């Protein structure tokens, strides 16, 4: 059920070399369901990714340097939504209708460096798709270059404040909560 590192295997294609993985965005899992035990799902940091998100390297001392895909924050929220909706589907209809690969997923992260709305600051990082898809975005990064960016400034502190408020609104299930991204 799990790989040697303890992470649960899901509906991904495992064992591909990095060069094959970047040519095959469909190798990333869509439903986060274990193929052997269909009642087991693994969301967020629990699932085993099929490989790194960028070219692996080896340093002069022989240490492998690989970038694991981010699976916390917004990504784990999105995967949690997909899994929860699919479980509801299975209970009500007996089949799953939801799915989102990390090659189809948008994510944002805001790192606060002072929460004042007057002289605070934050780094805003946005990325789409989370895992590069060179088929849809045939540029050097494999991503949408309008959306994907990082910047620092007071606007980030305002974004952080807005996200806190809207996220609490969503968690409390108030009007329009479904429209607010994870």
Partner 1 sequence: MEITPRDRFWMSFKPFQLIRFVVLNLKILKGVNASKRA
Sign of the Cα torsion 174, 70, 4, 98 reads positive
Q: Cβ closer to partner 1: 44 or 181?
A: 181
Among 58, 84, 147, 171, binds partner 1 (CB under 8 A): 147
Among 14, 18, 158, 167, binds partner 1 (CB under 8 A): 158
Binding residues among 71-130 for partner 1 as defined by CB under 8 A: 78, 98-101, 104-106, 108, 119, 121, 124, 126, 128-129
Q: Label residues 166-180 b or e (16+ Cβ within 10 Å = b).
A: eeeebeeeeeeeeee
Contacts with partner 1 by CB under 8 A: the residue count is 28
Q: Which residue has the tokens 């909706």?
A: 85
Q: Cβ closer to partner 1: 2 or 109?
A: 109
Take residue 75 and report the two structure tokens written for it.
Answer: 């990504």
Task: Give SS3 for 48.
Answer: coil
Least distance between partner 1 and beta carbon 5 (Å): 27
Q: How far is the C-alpha of 107 from the C-alpha of 24, rounded, in Å?
A: 21
Q: How far is the C-alpha of 32 from the C-alpha of 109, rounded, in Å?
A: 22
Q: Cβ closer to partner 1: 8 or 157?
A: 157
Take residue 176 and report the two structure tokens written for it.
Answer: 């329009």
Least distance between partner 1 and beta carbon 55 (Å): 21
The residue ranges that bind partner 1 (CB under 8 A) are 78, 98-101, 104-106, 108, 119, 121, 124, 126, 128-129, 144, 146-147, 149, 151-156, 158-159, 181
């Amino acid at each position: 059920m799990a790989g040697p590192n303890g992470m649960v295997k899901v509906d991904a294609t495992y064992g591909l070399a990095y060069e094959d993985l970047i040519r095959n965005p469909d190798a990333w899992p869509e439903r986060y369901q274990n193929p052997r035990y269909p009642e087991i799902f693994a969301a967020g940091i629990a699932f085993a990714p099929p490989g790194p998100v960028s070219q692996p390297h080896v340093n002069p001392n022989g240490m492998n340097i690989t970038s694991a895909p981010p699976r916390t924050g917004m990504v784990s929220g999105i995967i949690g939504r997909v899994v929860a909706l699919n479980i509801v589907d299975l209970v009500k209809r007996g089949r799953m209708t939801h799915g989102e690969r990390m090659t189809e997923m948008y994510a944002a992260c805001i790192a606060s460096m002072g929460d004042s709305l007057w002289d605070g600051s934050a780094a805003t990082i946005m990325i789409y798709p989370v895992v590069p898809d060179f088929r849809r975005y045939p540029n050097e990064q494999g991503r949408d270059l309008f959306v994907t960016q990082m910047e620092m400034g007071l606007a980030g502190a305002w974004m952080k404040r807005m996200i806190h408020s809207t996220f609490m609104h969503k968690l409390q299930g108030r009007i329009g909560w479904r429209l607010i991204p994870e």
